[in-house]
Chains A and B, each alone.
Chain A
Amino acid sequence: MTAKTRYFLVGSVMVLIVGLSIGLVAFYGGMPSGLFSGQSGPAELKYLPGDAAVVAYANVRDVMNSELRQRLRRFEGVTDEGRSEFKTQTGIDIEQDIDHVVACMGTPGAQAERSGLVVVTGRFDATRIEALALQHGGRTEQYKGKRLLLAPDAKSGADEHPHAEMAMAFLGSGVVAMGTADMVRRAVDRAAGGSSVQGNAELMRLVGEMSGQSMWAVGRFDALSAQATLPAEVTERIPPISWFSASGRVNGGLSAVVKAEAKDEQAADNLRDIVRGFVALAKMQTSGKPGIQKMLPDVQLSGDGKEVAISFAVTNEMLDAFEAARAMGDQIKKLEPHAPKQ
């Protein structure tokens, strides 16, 4: 073997060793989390409880200003009436004044409804909102230096579980928390420094993957399935899933990714097989119909190990096809009365 060949083999082995060492260090948690990724999630996560089962985020400005929304508004024929009324009442222009929203849902159970919290960031006229709340029978309360606005007592009627008292509080400049009074008070506590969802390593791992997305939701799948009343035949056939995430990015269109983390690789394989079968069937159904193909997003199945991911995009071309189909439908409706009677 010549020296040149030996150098080549040594170089090749060195590349393998260095690359695998980096992977190994990352695998055992030695790699700084910020080395390859940016900040994990919005700063408002610090107000959410550490035991939250689901965390969601929406960049309202991105969504509101997106071309997709404008096209959908035209498509649906939505007017600005409702938005204008809300602005008159509260002084908040949803399109301009709200930047983003962070929300969480608690662990499934009897108290699940009471464990939700919504944190909104934007520009608010606190005086006007407070006056409006008081005008509608609300009251105020001071809690650890923050002013809470409590909604009027709800009449639960015959319900054996009385409704929880709803409240909102200005946690900081342009940051409002809304939820049950208890949850809002705890958010105030966390603002002063307490354990929050940012300490939940599993959730934050998923949040870390959501960078750059316009909207996302991550959490435990049992929390999600508990909210959705699916038929027993369906729930029995879904392979066991521990975590899920869904994210979307709006621009000209919408690109979305839904991920599920199964309990084990076998369950992930089963889930992939189910999804793959559906995707293949859908593709075969539409393979001879280019008109319908244009309107359907192209679904990509991916994922390694325990992870199953489905991504799809709603493109401008699809929206064009939808608009064209709708226009054609309207045209047919107009012509129908003039059609010859049989």
Chain B
Amino acid sequence: MSDTAPDPTAPASPGHVPWAAGPARQAPPFLSAAMRVFDLSMGQMLWSRRTIFLGLIVGSPLALGVLFRVLEMLGVTGGVRIEGAAVTGPTIFGGMIWILYLRFIVPVLGVFYGTALIADEVDDKTITYLFVRPIPHGAVLAGKYLAYLVTTVFVVLPSVVILYLLVVPLGNGSLAASFTALLKDLALLGIGLAAYGAVFAFIGAYFKYPLVTGLVFAFGWEPLAMLLPGYLRRLTIAYYLQALVPHSMPQEGLGSALQALFREVPPVWVSLVWLAGYVVVFIALAARTVERKEYVLEQ
């Protein structure tokens, strides 16, 4: 910003506030602005009504883990069984990572938090307060995305660690043998939250009904594309994320059988590159959308 009076005919630049009175202030750089939004959004995100949902969704695997431990302590039916077959702790843990975290918790958190980054501000008609600040609009999205990532990672990863301690020792399972798998699980869940969050942040910024669009993507498009033979699955996040899972895919019904039959696993480096690409491209797209889109607040 310059110290001279603004030219009213000049085209408005992002973050430029032509009617602002008083002495002009130096706009903070992008990163600094993003960090300020992050600081503000962290508290809002963590202590909102969504936290109850977050607690329930992340607490349910832990409740299951406690239940398994109690069952084993009581010696009920000789340990935990799946369809009659006794299973050890590491197998249960692997199954829970696949079914509960990878296929449900990570996409659900991505949908509910990611799509809300901008959409919530629009719905609450508070986006104006953010956009009149002398900061790039993209920094608002970046800061909010960072807050989403920290909130979800710091809730999901501790729950996985607690689950590991609860479930892996079942049936004489070895904590030591599963430790490397735990590290991989933590890393891939972090990557998954980042990738899904980026995609849903874009959906939240671009679409009018982001939640519905997000749910269709996460629980319609992704499972369907994963079942179909061919190249469509490469347009999903699950395809690359599942290649990083250190546990075997659980067999549950014909859907899993089909997926197992047509399953092709990309190399780890390919998956990592694609997932990183998803994060960068969709955050950039979301930031660009936020910079250019004019949000109409419905009265």
Contacts and interface: CB of A to CB of B under 8 A. Distances in A.
Contact of A19 (B95, B161, B176, B260): B161
B164 A23 contact: yes
B86 interface: yes
B250 A302 contact: yes
Interface residues of A, number: 64
Contacts of B85: 255-257, 297-298, 300, 311-313
Given A12-B154, A20-B161, A305-B180, A280 B175 contact: no
B254 interface: yes
Interface in B34-78: 39, 42-43, 46-47, 78
Nearest to B172: A37
A13 B154 contact: yes
A210 B265 CA distance: 32
B43 A280 contact: no
Contact of B258 (A2, A251, A280): A280
B275 interface: no
A302 B162 contact: no
A126 interface: no
B126 interface: no
A276 interface: yes
Contact of B247 (A1, A24, A300, A304): A304
B165 A19 contact: yes
B32 interface: no
Interface string A286-305: 01000000000111111111
A313 B83 contact: yes
A126 B174 CA distance: 42
B47 A5 contact: yes
- Which of A24, A37, A269, A300 gathers the greatest number of chain B CB atoms within 10 Å? A300
A16 B251 contact: no
Contact of B84 (A255, A283, A301): A255
Contacts of A9: 150, 154
Nearest to B46: A5
B229 to A, nearest CB: 13
Given A209-B172, A212-B79, A302-B91, A280 B257 contact: yes
B118 to A, nearest CB: 21
A185 to B, nearest CB: 34
Given A13-B154, A26-B175, A26-B179, A277 B260 contact: yes
Interface in B218-264: 246-251, 254, 257-258, 260-261, 263
A313 B82 CA distance: 9
B174 to A, nearest CB: 7
Given A272-B248, A287-B254, A19 B158 contact: yes
A77 interface: no
Contact of A304 (B43, B87, B94, B161): B94
B169 interface: yes
B158 A4 contact: no
Interface string A11-42: 01101100110111011110100001110000
A304 B90 contact: yes
A298 B176 CA distance: 29
A5 B246 CA distance: 33
A9 to B, nearest CB: 6
A107 interface: no
Contacts of A256: 85
B178 interface: yes
Given A12-B158, A302-B95, A284 B254 contact: yes
Contacts of A2: 43
Nearest to B45: A5
B251 to A, nearest CB: 5
Interface of A: 1-2, 4-5, 8-9, 12-13, 15-16, 19-20, 22-24, 26-29, 31, 36-38, 205, 208-213, 249, 251, 253, 255-257, 269, 272-273, 276-277, 279-281, 283-284, 287, 297-305, 307-309, 311-315
Given A8-B154, A283-B254, 19 more contacts: A2-B43, A12-B154, A12-B158, A16-B157, A23-B164, A26-B174, A28-B176, A37-B169, A38-B172, A210-B172, A253-B84, A273-B263, A276-B248, A300-B87, A301-B250, A302-B94, A311-B91, A312-B85, A315-B84
Those 7 A-B pairs whose CB atoms lie nearest each other, nearest first: A313-B84, A19-B161, A15-B158, A36-B169, A26-B175, A280-B261, A313-B85
28 contacts: A2-B43, A5-B42, A12-B158, A15-B158, A15-B161, A19-B164, A23-B179, A23-B182, A24-B179, A36-B174, A36-B175, A209-B173, A256-B85, A272-B248, A273-B263, A297-B85, A299-B251, A300-B85, A300-B87, A302-B91, A302-B248, A304-B90, A304-B177, A305-B177, A311-B82, A313-B81, A315-B83, A315-B84
